Amino acid sequence: MHCFRSQQHMRYHFYVLVMVLLAGLFLNLDNRDMLVLLFAITLVIVAEMFNTAIEVIVDMITDSYRPAAKLVKDVAAGAVLVAAMNAVIAGVLIFFGQKRLTQIQSQMQQNLPPDITKVVVIGIVSLALIVIISKLISNTGTPLRGGIISGHSAIGFLLAMTIYFSADNLAIAFLAILLAVLVAQSRVEAGFHTLREVVFGAVLAIVLTAFVYRIIPFIRPYLPWSHSPKPLSAKHQIPDYGSQWLTSLRDEGETPLGQR
């Protein structure tokens, strides 16, 4: 939280992390690609945290200009730059590598139901980041208490709505939603959140799950890259002169060289 407040680049890293995770869900990337993206961005965040810690230690040791202190800070900043370059390269290879666009388009065309495990993991990480960012921007609450959005309520309704959209049993879905309501109520009774804050958390989780399970499958068939290319008409097709030559040889009773 200190790094987020004091380092402008750390805020950019958090925003990009949320957007990349949501984009991975939208494009239906497989678990391997999502893991690579998450690891690459996490490496950047960890490097930024080490860089901040090193800067604080250097400032504690000396309050005047020293070449050695400058070198330490430059090397720490260079480590963040290397990690960021690694993340950019990983993103380019995953989204634009050899045949990657074709594979992503194929996955979009299939419009398969979302992987529940992937949705839950990425959803919890995304909600946690959004809750932390909201606390830091509003300067309210602590990591586990308070804030303008209830994280416990958001995660509870994320799990409940995942059960609702994936389970065929309405009774189980109702019980899951009831448990999420009890979690939200406990936060209000404990005095950690107001009713408005737990409602914000619930609405955020409901919108995220509805977006993944209902909106994305609905809009995918209408996207431009979700349609297979139409076959060429007869006048636009390239004639196969090789096949025509073999056919003419067979009609004349001759054997092609490759079959002699």
Residues identified as active-site: 48
| Separation of alpha carbons 125 and 158, rounded Å | 11
Residue 32 CB coordination number (10 Å)? 9
Under 8 Å between Cβ of 125 and 21: yes
Residue 37: burial class (beta carbons within 10 Å; 0-12, 13-18, 19+):
buried
Selection from 160, 237, 168 nearest residue 201 by Cα: 160
- Ramachandran sector of residue 143 (left: φ over 0; alpha: ψ -120 to 50; beta: rest): alpha
| Separation of alpha carbons 46 and 129, rounded Å | 15
Sign of CA dihedral 51, 53, 54, 58: positive
